[in-house]
Structure 1
Amino acid sequence: MGMVIAAAHTAAHHGTGPASAVELASRAARACLSQAQVSPSSVGVLINVGVYRESNTFEPALAALIQKEVGINLDYIADPAPAAGFSFDLMNGACGVLNAVQLAQSLLDTGSAERVLITAADVHPGGDARLDPDYPYADLAGAFLLQRSADPDAGFGPVSSYLGDGPSDTEGYLDTAVMGSEGRSRITVRRTEGHRARRSALAAVCTAGYAREHGIDLDRTVVVGPHAAQDTVVDGDREEIGDGEPHTAAPVLGYLQAMAAPRPEDCDRLLIVAVGAGPGAACVGYRPEGW
């Protein structure tokens, strides 16, 4: 049995108040459960892969806070069936979602969980990315709900990781020399000139390498690259994500855009590629049910 995406959703910040990574991730997660028509108790494991958080919060794990907001098996004594929910953070930048997919495959293959929920959310530490012209990312969350499929031809292939040449071209850090008393609401993101072209080149190399390694015909493949557009269509509704780039939620956004677009003739699978600051990349093939 293959592992398939039962539901996918994004959640963007449009309000006048400060954005919250927990709130956006929880909203995307609840939308996935509603779309799949399953209860929170059906989720065995939640993996959160976001990087940037409100107030530069790193403890406790945001996955536990998201689990609480979504209501996933919070009390194993009062609600012992099917099992107590387990959640954890996994941080590997833009490649985090695909790393979480790899972990989810192992959890579902071994029967450790019936469903795995992946959330990815990034927000500016100050609560509104629109107010910081030097911060490149959108306040955005995405979520995948994954489960086994009875269709032997559907689902994810193996996830492969790759290392690029040279030093990291993106750094996100708290600059102690300038933070003053506002350190909880500040972040510095520096990217070297030409970083986007280098990411695209690494994505192309990894895509070709993955296709050779796993015998994939790229002429019959829709490639979901690292540069997702800034809107998507979910359940017939178009959602704008603002001026910033998607970061850890980009694979979710790219998947939704690919599924909403007309399928090219003879294409029978997706290949999702993510590129992080490492420089590093991750690729995975995916065949949706019914393709």
Structure 2
Amino acid sequence: MRISITSATTVGESRGGGSVDRSAIAVGEALTAGGIDVDDVDLLINTGIHRDDNIVEPAIAALIQKKSDINPLYEGQAQPALSFDLMNGPCGFLDAMEVTSAIFRTGGRRLAVIVGGEGHPSGSAREDSTFPYLTSAAAVVVAPATDKTGFGRVYRARTTAPDLPVGYLPLTTMGAQGCRVIGFERPDEQAYDRGLDVAVEAVTACLEREGLDPARCVLLASEPRPGFAKSVASAVGVDRVVTPDAPADPHSAALPFAYQAWLHADTPRGDAAHALFLGADGYFVAACAAYRLP
């Protein structure tokens, strides 16, 4: 089942006291922008990775659902909202689209919110120069498409990751401050080249298997490092590229940020027939789906 975006919004670091608060604000503003009541939401999926206090349980989606006041009761309602976490970095947004489409096909749920974003576990990344992601949140409301517009199949590519963590909890050294720290290590330079090849592979598969003309596509892509998206676009023959309008990488919220940047551009559509959503970490994995425009 094809699904279409109803509304979307992004929220920066200055709003909300932590990642859950920011995500709830993003959800509320996305629903307001779409003229949607919280009681109409059937499904909420959280794709964010880094969260307040390194919380593991309960699911962050449940906390966002509670703060957003989205159908929290299991009695007195026609259908309580389902919420869960689905974490796969910048590819998580497209994973959530695919899962949402499958759930919609069951016929029981018709409106979903996909929310993502990053936040330092301490509540502020300003004192941690190693935190590489934008402190932010984004929410996208989606519903079944009423025509042939919307998201199609998700195409994926990956390479074998070395035995090296990119983000991790330093369990042996964190001591009593474990809920406030996070560690990062970057892969070697060769991983950059592999990451570009993987992204090109995913976009190429999408173009070829969907029979799309690159000249009539716009690439909406995450930007794990400067120039990444343009390099991918050049390799596949797409002339128009939109990346997140942000001072750092929004990571799990990168595609909603790119989508918002595209909507706010002077000429977002042009003669484009499809928007190619590309989520990529720049090292090991990438996912791409074509969004057929009205």
Tell me if TM exceeds 0.5.
yes
Write the distance in 2 (CA, Å) between the matches of 1:169 and 1:160: 25
- When the two chains are superposed, the root-mean-square deviation of aligned CA atoms in Å is 2.4
Look up the equivalent residue of 1:251 and give its one-letter code.
L
Residue by residue over 1:71-96, the C-alpha shift from the partner in whole angstroms, topping out at 9 and shown as x without a partner, is 11112323x23x11111111112211
Greater strand fraction, Structure 1 or Structure 2: 1
Unaligned runs of 5+ in 2: 227-243
Cα offset for 1:169? 6.7
Please say if residues 169 and 279 of structure 1, whose CA atoms lie closer than 8 Å, have aligned partners that are also in contact.
Answer: no
Indicate if the aligned counterparts of 1:161 and 1:282 stay in contact, CA closer than 8 A: yes
Secondary structure of the equivalent of 2:252? coil
* Identical residues among aligned pairs (%): 30
Which residue number corresponds to residue 230 of structure 2?
none
Instruction: Map Cα deviations across residues 96-154 of structure 1 (whole Å, 9 max, x no partner).
Output: 1110000111122221211011111210111111221111011111111001232x231
2 CA distance for matches of 1:283 and 1:225?
9
TM-score (norm 2): 0.86
Q: Does the 8 A contact of 2:155 with 2:203 survive in 1? A: no
The AA in structure 1 aligned to 2:138 is G
Match of 1:158 in 2: 153
Are 2:89 and 1:85 aligned?
Answer: no
1:141 equivalent among 137, 140, 150: 137
Partner residue, 1:69: 67
SS at match of 2:154: strand
| TM-score under structure 1 length normalisation | 0.87
Q: Report the alpha carbon displacement of residue 276 of structure 1 after superposing the two structures with TM.
A: 3.4
Aligned to 2:13: 13
Structure 1 residue 264: Cα displacement: 5.6
Aligned-partner SS, 2:53? helix
**How far has the Cα of 1:200 moved from its partner?**
3.4
Contact 1:25 1:119 in 2 (8 A): yes
- 1:171–1:277 Cα contact (<8 Å) kept: no
Q: Name the structure 1 match of 2:251.
A: 247
Count of residues paired in the alignment: 275
CA deviation after TM superposition for structure 1 residue 244, in Å? 3.3
Determine which of 280, 283, 290 is the counterpart of 2:288.
283
Which residue matches 1:235? none
Asked if the contact 1:221/1:267 (under 8 Å) is kept, the reply is yes
Q: Superposed, which structure 2 residues align to 1:74-223 within 5 Å?
A: 74-78=72-76, 80-81=77-78, 83-150=79-146, 152-167=147-162, 171-194=166-189, 195-196=191-192, 198-223=194-219
Measured in 1, the distance between the counterparts of 2:110 and 2:144 equals: 7
Query: Does structure 2 conserve the Cα–Cα contact (< 8 Å) formed by 1:226 and 1:274?
Result: yes
SS in 2 for 1:129: coil
* Mapped partners of 1:278, 1:200: distance in 2: 7
Structure 1 unmatched runs, 5+: 231-238
